[in-house]
Structure 1
Amino acid sequence: MTQFIDSYARKFYYLRLSITDVCNFRCTYCLPDGYKPQGATNKSFLSLDEIRRVTRAFADAGTEKVRLTGGEPSLRRDFVDIIAAVRENRGIRQLAVTTNGYRMARDVARWRDAGLTSINVSVDSLDARQFHAITGQDKFHQVMRGIDAALEAGFSKVKVNSVLMRDVNHHSLQTFLDWIRHRPIQLRFIELMETGEGSDLFRRHHISGEVIRDQLIMQGWQRQIRARSDGPAQVFSHPDYQGEIGLIMPYERDFCASCNRLRVSATGNLHLCLFGDGGVPLRDLLVSDAQQPELQARIAESLGHKKQTHFLHQGNTGITQNLSFIGG
């Protein structure tokens, strides 16, 4: 099977695989009213065997990196088994998870033993009270212990995701910089993105990552070269800091030109873009191993319909009602 390539010659090395859309946090920019099931209440998320089959199909077509997302992926009782199943694919060099971190202190060593290579933790504020206000959970210190546990378990670096919001945390750059000065943490500011349910919040709190980038450059931070299976972050380093800063700026021109990732939802639909108009069903081709050629053919054919860019600038958020829907 040849590699997955779209009509604009973009090659796809990176799969973001949602394994649940359930989350136990109530972040203001994602699920402010808490998790509510979408559509039919009797739907089931991808099984362990289905996850094994879909990741094998991607790996055999050149995918090098898989990120397990949610919702909150660690809510699945078979999460460790899922990690091990994905790592059965020799072609998958990187296996990451994006988590709210509340179970890391307890479980992160088991995740690493099962084959996880990278962790992203969502932390939007280093102030415990503000963290509680944003997430709806008083778990700041628990998450901080989890980050320490990840480093102690042997992860050489932990990525921390912080959604950049005007008048919430955009003045906090120096606090974050002080935190990563002596810690191997890549702190990633993600621009607030508009979703179907979050238009009012977006209008109140969106601010461009350029504000942070300009401050970093003034302080001597240098942008790093991006590897082919890396995510979309612009990464900056500084000789005086052990940590790094990443900026994810989806509203910047040409953001989509380097797109290298595809998404599969927790119910088995292929999404060509986080803000696309629909999903391509794959689940009927995840019943047996013998269906892999047909599965790969459907994915490859679908890439002919991938748009050159998202349409966020026009306020078109596609079918994404909130960021837990297909894993952000």
Structure 2
Amino acid sequence: MSQLQDNFGRRFHYLRMSVTDVCNFKCTYCLPDGYRPDGKPKFLDLNEIEHLVSAFSQVGTQKIRITGGEPSLRKDFTDIIRIVKDNDKINTIATTTNGYRLAKHAQEWYDAGLRRINISVDSLDPKMFYQITGENKFDDVMRGVDAALEAGFERVKINAVLLKGLNDKDLPRFLHWIKNTPIDLRFIELMETGLGHDYFKAHHLAGNDIKLQLEQAGWQFDTPAVDDGPAQNFSHQDYQGRIGLIMPYAKNFCASCNRLRVSAKGKLHLCLFTENGVDLRDLLQTPDQQAELIERLHGQLAQKKETHFLHDGITGVTQHLASIGG
């Protein structure tokens, strides 16, 4: 089966599969008013997820990240991990979580097949953490980080969205943390969404500013692996941890794009921004629909644009990142 490839020669090894858009945090850059359901949502069930994973595995997908919302809010989250694990063509199973349930379930998820985990920790100051997330859960999340390290995950990453005037003074504290802790710290440049124009103007901080500070301090750029995400990763001989920078406004950011997204309701998104998505759910009902589903995937890749249009202030239809898994 031929691999998914667009008209610009980019191949797609990596699927970000959302399983819910529900979240129990109220992060100021994503869901400042909390999750607001639109009617009674019906997210992909286990059979639909199995058919989706099967189709993508046949067209070159090697890595699947289970996302949300907060994916662990699904009672069958561990079963979802097992479904992905049971597909022998998927080499890497990852998830992104706010860490709310991590301390209790880290070992269970690892045993089910999860191997990489990203945990959102936007500040190491508990008061600032509360201000950004709307939840006084800093200690719970940090216990979750410890549990993930103890469970044996091959890669534990910490995600922190860069926010001018909020957590932009936290870099020394983060660096102190990873001096002797084997985690990957990732700073994510704030992206403008449909609901966040004023917030973006007030708090956007260019990731390149952090990059210059790192280079001046002796951090070295690491060559990316084929299934890596969009981060530019850096390491330092004096630190056990690494640092990654995700800079969507950097030149040629989209040139290395290798990931696609499917929303919790079964829509394929070729880009985090700019388009409404294409429904796949009608072809996720039975195994005998696989050929037609794969044909639809190939057809949609021909429509993928060369770049997003964030530089032009065009944020597309994405109202908040929780809606299609960030």
Taking structure 1 as the reference length, the TM-score comes to 0.98
Q: Determine the structure 1 residue equivalent to 2:36.
A: 36
What's the offset of the Cα at 1:91?
1.1
**Using the alignment, how far apart are the partners of 2:297 and 2:174 within structure 1?**
40
Which residue identity does 1:271 align to in structure 2? H
Q: What is the 5 A alignment of 1:47-196?
A: 47-196=45-194
Q: Determine the structure 2 residue equivalent to 1:262.
A: 260
Q: Determine the structure 2 residue equivalent to 1:234.
A: 232
Q: Deviations over 1:114-153 (max 9, x none)?
A: 0001000000000011101110111000000000001111
Q: Which moved more, 1:149-158 or 1:24-33?
A: 149-158
Does the aligned pair in 1 maintain the 2:128–2:167 contact within 8 Å?
no
Q: Which moved more, 1:20-29 or 1:273-282?
A: 273-282
SS state at 2:322 partner: coil
Q: Report runs of 4+ in structure 1 exceeding 2 Å deviation.
A: none
Q: Determine the structure 2 residue equivalent to 1:303.
A: 301
Which residue identity does 1:50 align to in structure 2? E
Q: Determine the structure 1 residue equivalent to 2:16.
A: 16
Does the aligned pair in 1 maintain the 2:130–2:137 contact within 8 Å?
yes
Q: Deviations over 1:209-256 (max 9, x none)?
A: 111100100000000000111000000000000000000000001000
**Using the alignment, how far apart are the partners of 1:96 and 1:30 within structure 2?**
21
**Using the alignment, how far apart are the partners of 1:20 and 1:177 within structure 2?**
33
Which residue identity does 1:222 align to in structure 2? Q
What's the offset of the Cα at 1:32?
0.4
What's the offset of the Cα at 1:276?
2.4
SS state at 1:274 partner: coil
What's the offset of the Cα at 1:157?
3.0
5+ long unaligned stretches in structure 1: none
Q: Determine the structure 2 residue equivalent to 1:223.
A: 221
Does the aligned pair in 1 maintain the 2:115–2:155 contact within 8 Å?
no
SS state at 1:324 partner: helix
**Using the alignment, how far apart are the partners of 1:103 and 1:232 within structure 2?**
26
5+ long unaligned stretches in structure 2: none
Which residue identity does 1:7 align to in structure 2? N
Q: Determine the structure 2 residue equivalent to 1:244.
A: 242
Q: Deviations over 1:35-66 (max 9, x none)?
A: 0124xx13300000100110110011110000
Which residue identity does 1:159 align to in structure 2? K
| Root-mean-square deviation over aligned CA pairs | 0.7
Does the aligned pair in 2 maintain the 1:156–1:184 contact within 8 Å?
no
Which residue identity does 2:301 align to in structure 1? L
Taking structure 2 as the reference length, the TM-score comes to 0.99
**Using the alignment, how far apart are the partners of 1:26 and 1:109 within structure 2?**
27
What's the offset of the Cα at 1:289?
0.5
Percentage of matched positions with identical amino acids: 60
